[in-house]
Amino acid sequence: MLDVRYIVLTVTLLALSCGASIAEESGPAGSLTLAQAATDEATEQEEGSLGIVGKATVYVDDAQRNASERFGNFMAQVDGFFSNAGTNEDAVSNQSWARIRLDAIRPGGESAEVKPSLKLRVVLPQTERKFKLLLSTEDDDTEQVGENVGRSSSASRGDDQNASIAIRFIRTARTNGRVDIDLGIRQRESEVQYFSRLNLGYRGELARHWTASVNNSYYYYNKSGFEDKLSFDFRRVLFFNDDLFFRSFTEFNWRKGRKGAIIGQTVGLYTQIDESRSLALEMLAGYHTALNAGVDDRFRGHEIRVRWRHNVWRPWFFYEFWPSVSWPSTNDYERSYGVLLRMEVVVGQR
């Protein structure tokens, strides 16, 4: 009888012990399941509250960030061609950037056009920042100020539509002066040409509140010959406000096969309204010191334009709006209206 009671008591104690163990083990698991369910529900509610526009914004931001990271990694790989990459890679400071533009242009008295462009600047920090890789389909590098009065500045001449790739050696880069050399390939005058360019620049204080800079770029193309640009830039801060200044820019341009020089003049007022908006009012004029084929008037005309630049939506997205009125010689100095609308995206650091 005692044996039976002892067996029953032992089984009961074992059952109670197993039940307690099961309850103890299942408690935290159940709590974890509920917590996970609550988290998932909150996440779903948060995603639902974003809506289609919010999800698209997050997607675009992630894509731009990933593109910037991949771009930086690619730049580090390119840098390896010019230095011992792999040594102290964490110390590499990448300041390379790419700029993508889409311009909708209607120059004064001419038909409208749409023009995409790309500009790339690759800094090679392990070469002590003395080398850069340059890639551009923009026309800023070869455009002559004032030569095509009445055309927006991104609309180039037919024979100068170009794309170029080059490597730049920075001989000196000081506060007041710089010397650098470019070697590369450019599509120019409907031909692919090798070119070299010597850039000289100096900047200093001219007088109280005035700064002046002088720059000279001498190009040599293996088929087109030489081209030389000499420019003078004067700036003055107005009303003791660094965000408002006056600027006068004069450029002289000489080229093989062309008589005389083209003189371009730009005078303008520029202001930075806030961190995301800027505004400029400019007047342009062009003059040929000698007549050449296709040029019947030395005075090319003049133009007045307003330039509005705005950073919207995201730190890397900009748009510009340039309405203009001009009196070009190609239109017998009759008044013409033009406009440019630009969208711009910047990838990487700039």
Q: Two tokens at 219? A: 């190009």
Answer yes or no: is pLDDT of 306 > 60: yes
d(CA 10, CA 5): 8
d(CA 337, CA 109): 7
The average pLDDT across 124-132 equals 76
d(CA 77, CA 83): 10
Q: What is the largest CA-CA distance in the chain?
A: 132
d(CA 68, CA 75): 10
pLDDT digits (tens, 9 = 90+) for 145-174: 455 565 544 333 445 556 899 998 887 767
54-58, 164-168, 295-299: least confidently modelled range:
54-58
Strands (E), 143-240: 164-173, 177-188, 191-207, 210-221, 225-238
CB atoms within 10 A of CB 227: 20
DSSP letters along 110-133, please?
A: S--EEEEEEEEEEE-GGGTT-EEE
- In this predicted structure, what is the pLDDT of residue 24? 43
Decide: 126 and 82 in contact? Cβ < 8 Å: yes
As a CATH number, domain 80-85+92-348 is: 2.40.160.40
- The domain ranges of the chain are 1-66, 80-85+92-348
- Give the residue carrying structure tokens 């991949």: 70
- Give pTM, 2 decimals: 0.74
Which H or E run includes 9? Answer: helix 2-79
Range picked from 28-32, 49-53, 161-165, 299-303 for highest mean pLDDT:
299-303
Backbone angles phi, psi at 84, to 5 degrees: -85, 80
- Work out the burial of residue 256: count CB atoms within 10 Å of its CB; fewer than 13 is exposed, 13-18 middle, 19 or more buried: exposed
- What's the DSSP call for residue 82? S
pLDDT digits (tens, 9 = 90+) for 186-221: 988 888 999 999 999 999 998 888 999 999 999 999
d(CA 144, CA 158): 13
- What integer best gives the mean pLDDT of the chain? 78
